[in-house]
Amino acid sequence: MRKFLIAALLAGSAATPALAQEAAPFTGPHIEALAGYDLLGAGNDDLDDGTDGFLYGVNAGYDFQLGGVIAGVEGEYTDSTTKARANDILAVNDSAELRSGRDLYVGGRLGFAAGPSTMIYAKGGYTNAKFGFDYRNGTTAADLDLKADGYRVGAGVEQKFNVFGPSGFVKAEYRYSNYGKLEISNANQSLETDFDRHQALVGVGVRF
């Protein structure tokens, strides 16, 4: 009888995490790979030549589920092939190129369970992006590394998917980032433009 009770207790304790995960399938740490579309936007048409590219990176975070509500924190590292080119912006025959670099993000998200395997969420937080900027006008050349601080908001849907076992998932997400104003100037004139980006991506990950 004693052996039977011990075996039952051990079996019950082993089943508890699985039962808890079934009751709250969006709880716990997660890591995922990201890929998608990146579009640099500007408030001036002079900087809108060739401004889209390919986004790639990784995301990691932790979610807490209470009933149908999910809250979480996350951090992200991405890079992009996006470049923005322009000519004749400050003088005739000048040229400029803005190259997108690494992007660091930290923030939170809030969602709800639309079903036992589906979560819909909104997100927001801080982003710090790095850019390379080259300017040429025949007599002057400038090669700069720029860092921009901004905010990001977005929304998406996450679906449990047995891609890496029962804890795998896929997601689709749109987000908007704003970095304020970018100013380009020479001795005679300057160009100031709002600087932002739109991104649409998919993620494939696993929850532990």
> Do the Cβ atoms of 57 and 78 come closer than 8 Å?
yes
φ, ψ dihedrals at 83, nearest 5°? -135, 145
Query: What pLDDT does 86 receive?
Result: 78
Determine what percent of the chain is predicted with pLDDT higher than 90.
50
Mean pLDDT, to the nearest integer, of 160-169?
Answer: 83
Identity of the residue numbered 3:
K
The model's confidence at residue 121, banded by pLDDT at 50, 70 and 90, is: very high
Which pLDDT band holds residue 88 (cuts at 50, 70, 90)? confident
For residue 3, give the H/E element and its range.
helix 2-23
Exposed e or buried b per residue across 138-165, where buried means at least 16 C-beta atoms within 10 angstroms of its C-beta: eeeeeeeeeebebbbebbbebebeeeee
> What pTM value is reported for the model?
0.80
Burial of 11 (0-12, 13-18, 19+ CB in 10 A): exposed
The answer to whether 95 and 84 have CB atoms below 8 angstroms apart is no
- Mean local confidence (pLDDT), 110-133: 94
Residue 208 scores a pLDDT above 70: yes
Report the pLDDT value the prediction gives residue 184, as an integer from 0 to 100: 59
pLDDT at 36: 98
> 8-28 pLDDT, tens per residue?
334 444 443 443 446 688 999
Q: Give the pLDDT confidence score for residue 101 in this predicted structure.
A: 92
Asked whether the beta carbons of 38 and 100 are under 8 A apart, the reply is yes
Please give the pLDDT value at position 81.
94
Predicted pLDDT at 132: 85
| Mean of per-residue pLDDT scores for the chain | 82
Domains observed in the chain? 22-207 (2.40.160.20)
Q: Which of 6-20, 137-151, 174-188 has the highest mean pLDDT?
A: 137-151
What is the C-alpha separation between 64 and 118, in angstroms, rounded?
Answer: 15
